[in-house]
Amino acid sequence: MSNKTTVTEFVLLGFSDLREMQILHIVFFLVMYLAALLGNLLIITAVAFDNHLHSPMYFFLLNLSIVDLGSISVTLPKSMVNSVLNNKSISYYGCVTQVFLFVFFASAEMALLTIMAYDRYVAICQPLHYVTVMNRRACVQMAAGAWISGILNSAMLTGNTFALSFCGDNRVDHFFCEIPQLLKLTCSVSYLSETAAIAWTACLVLCCFVLIIMSYVKIFKTVLRILSEQCQHKAFSTCLPHLTVVSLFIFPGIIAYLKSTSGLASVLDLMVAVLYSLVPPVMNPIIYSMRNKEIKAALGKLTGWRLFTKNEMSVFLP
């Protein structure tokens, strides 16, 4: 142990050492980051300033856009700066901060997606009670609960990870500090900590996933009993964007965090990380705006574009 030196910084190996590949990486990440910023800021502005969007569904969508902005801002700017400067280092405390914030936003997003599934369940299965159940106070409390649960989960996982000792190898085979990759570098006997972290993450993800599935099973049963095809279409049109967003976020995240820390090749690790950390923040605004006439109309007013349809707006909300 006397020959081992304590790690004071980590090296993010990223995608490639070739300068040409680094430039390609910068361009790709910059396009993704600007797309995420533009899309989510438009959603936030539209929901905040359009009175037609002051409803529970869009309130939670606003929170989701804020989470997406925070999540992608934690990882991409540092990676792009490192590539521009050709410097791959990140300080120990910088890595701690990055892990904490990323897990915080990811946990809050998981909670918000679960709440949004519940919102759709109440709107479709209990429409007469929707205004009472999803009142302003209840929505604020649920949103606050999502943010607080994110903080608590992130504090637990981050503290558990960095309570371990890092010495010797400090090369993180990734473009940002990710817990499974950091666990590979610890010189502590990490089996108990690793098992606890994986079990806790698995429990949270499984609980949220089960709640989402239960909500949609009841939703689909209710929708299939509706005789009108037009009403069925409206109901499915409000559910499909959320299901798509859930799939984009949960399944790659499960692969990344619930796999063995030595089970997948580094290239596949990077691809999975890109899927769950970059794609949802970019695609969520597109998915929600493409199939939602109210969002299209609000964005049309906001930007002055004639691209968005001006047909009569309708959404399956009481």
CATH at residue 154 = 1.20.1070.10
Asked if residue 245 belongs to a domain, the reply is yes
Share of the chain above pLDDT 90, in %: 25
Q: What is the pTM of this model?
A: 0.85
User: Based on the structure, what is the number of domains in the chain?
Assistant: 1
The residue-averaged pLDDT of 243-253 equals 77
Relative to beta strand 171-172, strand 89-91 is: unpaired
Asked if residue 308 belongs to a domain, the reply is no
Asked if residue 54 belongs to a domain, the reply is yes
| Selected residue with higher pLDDT from 33 and 203 | 33
CA-based Rg of the chain, rounded to a whole angstrom? 21
pLDDT, residue 24, reads: 85
pLDDT band with cut points at 50, 70 and 90 for residue 114:
very high
Q: Partners of 9 in the beta sheet?
A: 91
**Domain encompassing residue 184:** 9-303
Asked if residue 314 belongs to a domain, the reply is no
Asked if residue 50 belongs to a domain, the reply is yes
Residues 6 or more apart whose CB falls under 8 angstroms from that of 202 comprise 258
Relative to beta strand 89-91, strand 9-12 is: antiparallel
CB 174 within 8 A of CB 13: yes
User: What mean pLDDT, rounded, does the chain reach?
Assistant: 80
CB 292 within 8 A of CB 241: yes
pLDDT band with cut points at 50, 70 and 90 for residue 137:
very high
In order of 59, 115, 125, 131, 135, the CA distances from 138 in angstroms are: 12, 11, 18, 10, 5
The residue-averaged pLDDT of 139-147 equals 95
Q: Helix 266-277 to helix 229-258 angle, to the nearest 10 degrees?
A: 140
Asked if residue 172 belongs to a domain, the reply is yes
Asked if residue 237 belongs to a domain, the reply is yes
Between CA 83 and CA 95, with CA 89 as vertex, the angle to 5 degrees is 115
pLDDT, residue 194, reads: 63
Asked if residue 3 belongs to a domain, the reply is no
pLDDT band with cut points at 50, 70 and 90 for residue 170:
confident
Q: Partners of 10 in the beta sheet?
A: 90
The residue-averaged pLDDT of 85-107 equals 90
